Amino acid sequence: MSTIQPIRVGIVGLGQRGLQHLKALWTLQQEGIVHITALVDTYLDNLTENKIRQHIDGFQLGHIHTSTDFFQTLKSIPLDAIYFAIPPSIHKGEIVSSAQAGIHIFAEKPMSLYLNEVIEMEQEIASHGVIATVGFQQRYDSRYESALQFLRDKEIVMISMIMNSTLEGHSVKHTHTEKQGGPVNRIWTSNYQWSGSTVVEAGIHQVDLMRYWAGDIAWVEANYVERDSSDIVDGGDNPYAYQVTFGFASGAIGNLILSRLRKVFYTDSYNSILWTHGHLKFEPEGVVAYHYEGPYPPAQPPSQEETRHLLPLADQRNATEEISRAFVQAITTGNAKVLKSTFSSGMNSLVAVLGANLSHQLKGRRIYLEELLTDSEFEWFRKK
């Protein structure tokens, strides 16, 4: 019998993402790894067993503490770790207080829309020595892991990620934004003030993947096409289209192109990683590398067999469950190295997407991330 005590976890925010985490933790609880101890949400209707069961088969509240008051819960309920899955614009010191209480932290991306706020979070996490990660679960997706393995000994020159999607088409959201001056339809991801733009809210995943493969970003340049004021419905004011260029410390370039059109209901995407002598693509069949390794120069144009290579792939796992397994393992062993992204290392993804917003505001000026974090010129942008 294992003598390791299950990690006592709480979740703050039982909306779209918090429910996904709860589902993963419910599985880990059956395995005796965690003990779901507290659930906190501003709205009581998000905390009822009936509602949660619509998302997690067989879920039972049992002895789980539920509350609409985070700080009261922090004071009264002993917890080892807390997941934060609330909209990024409305943090009120919850992560800082948790770190100060020595509690390990799982923060959903984007950790905040304000650099000073997130810098304070990072400092408190570091000074209290707690384990902390960010919801970049795509790093645990076997397709992206196999790309990483394949690219390890190659020099990436350019990564391009394009995603066209619809302004209205987000999954259901659970924050009662209609009571907080936000969209009545609750799709706060379409609103700039709530989401910080599509680049920040959604594009941060692509940016973090680019960093997974190509390392840290040094600078960013961006131009957005703003939505016409006559085309804003229910607070959905995020730009129509975004074009962002990232400069990696390695010298590689990244391109992120996003759009959020209204009345279209059509989505498509294109992703490619170029290294000095090949392309890596994510195709329906799997991850495919296009490169030629035969005698050079070839006597005739190489065949498809010689240039198209399907990469071996580990079984597809549930990335949301995997990131939680890694987080819990890091806490149990005290070894943060099992995390594919810590809070601190994830900062570069956040600073890069916030830097894109600033670059657009400054008409496409190149923003160096180091300066954005420290230069007095940008204090107005960093503060909440």
Q: Which stretch binds ligand NAD (CB under 6 A): 13-21, 141-149, 156-164, 374-382?
A: 13-21
Q: Which stretch binds ligand NAD (CB under 6 A): 11-19, 50-58, 158-166, 367-375?
A: 11-19
The CB-of-110 to ligand NAD minimum distance in angstroms stands at: 6
Supply 286's token pair. Answer: 């799997």
Q: Which stretch binds ligand NAD (CB under 6 A): 34-42, 75-83, 286-294, 303-311?
A: 34-42
Candidates 34, 103, 106, 135; binder of ligand NAD (CB under 6 A) is 135
Q: Determine if 87 is a binding residue for ligand NAD (CB under 6 A).
A: yes
CA distance 245 to 222: 6
Q: Determine if 338 is a binding residue for ligand NAD (CB under 6 A).
A: no
The CB-of-42 to ligand NAD minimum distance in angstroms stands at: 4
Decide: residue 379, CB within 10 A, 0-12 exposed, 13-18 middle, 19+ buried. Answer: exposed
Q: Determine if 137 is a binding residue for ligand NAD (CB under 6 A).
A: yes
Q: Determine if 173 is a binding residue for ligand NAD (CB under 6 A).
A: yes
x/- track of binding to ligand NAD for residues 283-302 (CB under 6 A): --------------------
Reduced 3-state DSSP string for the chain: CCCCCCEEEEEECCCHHHHHHHHHHHHHHHCCCEEEEEEECCCHHHHCHHHHHCCCCCCCCCCCEEECCHHHHHHHCCCCEEEECCCCCCCCCHHHHHHHCCCEEEECCCCCCCHHHHHHHHHHHHHCCCCEEECCHHHHCHHHHHHHHHHCCCCEEEEEEEEEEECCCCCCCCCCHHHCCCCCCCCHHHCHHHHCCHHHHCHHHHHHHHHHHHCCEEEEEEEEECCCHHHCCCCCCCCCEEEEEEEECCCCEEEEEEEEECCCCCCEEEEEEEECCEEEEEECCEEEEECCCCCCCCCCCCCHHHHEEECCCCCCCCHHHHHHHHHHHHHHHCCHHHCCCEHHHHHHHHHHHHHHHHHHHCCCCCEEHHHHHHCHHHHHHHCC
Q: Determine if 360 is a binding residue for ligand NAD (CB under 6 A).
A: no
Candidates 56, 90, 288, 311; binder of ligand NAD (CB under 6 A) is 90
Q: Determine if 175 is a binding residue for ligand NAD (CB under 6 A).
A: yes
Interface positions, 98-127, toward ligand NAD (CB under 6 A): 108-109
Q: Determine if 46 is a binding residue for ligand NAD (CB under 6 A).
A: yes
Q: Determine if 38 is a binding residue for ligand NAD (CB under 6 A).
A: no
Whether residue 102 contacts residue 334, with contact meaning beta carbons closer than 8 Å, is answered with no
Q: Which stretch binds ligand NAD (CB under 6 A): 80-88, 117-125, 288-296, 334-342?
A: 80-88
Q: Determine if 79 is a binding residue for ligand NAD (CB under 6 A).
A: no
Non-local (6+) Cβ contacts of 258 within 8 A are 162, 163, 164, 165, 198, 199, 202, 203, 241, 242, 244
Q: Determine if 77 is a binding residue for ligand NAD (CB under 6 A).
A: no
Candidates 13, 235, 239, 247; binder of ligand NAD (CB under 6 A) is 13
Q: Determine if 10 is a binding residue for ligand NAD (CB under 6 A).
A: no
Q: Which stretch binds ligand NAD (CB under 6 A): 167-175, 260-268, 293-301, 304-312?
A: 167-175
Q: Determine if 70 is a binding residue for ligand NAD (CB under 6 A).
A: yes
Q: Determine if 40 is a binding residue for ligand NAD (CB under 6 A).
A: yes
Candidates 10, 25, 38, 42; binder of ligand NAD (CB under 6 A) is 42
Query: Per the omega criterion (within 30 degrees of 0), is the bond before 297 cis?
Result: yes
Give the nearest residue (CB) to ligand NAD: 15
Q: Determine if 88 is a binding residue for ligand NAD (CB under 6 A).
A: yes
Q: Determine if 182 is a binding residue for ligand NAD (CB under 6 A).
A: no
What is the total count of residues that contact ligand NAD (CB under 6 A)?
26
Residues in contact with ligand NAD by the rule CB under 6 A: 12-18, 40-43, 46, 70, 85-88, 90, 108-109, 135, 137, 173-175, 201
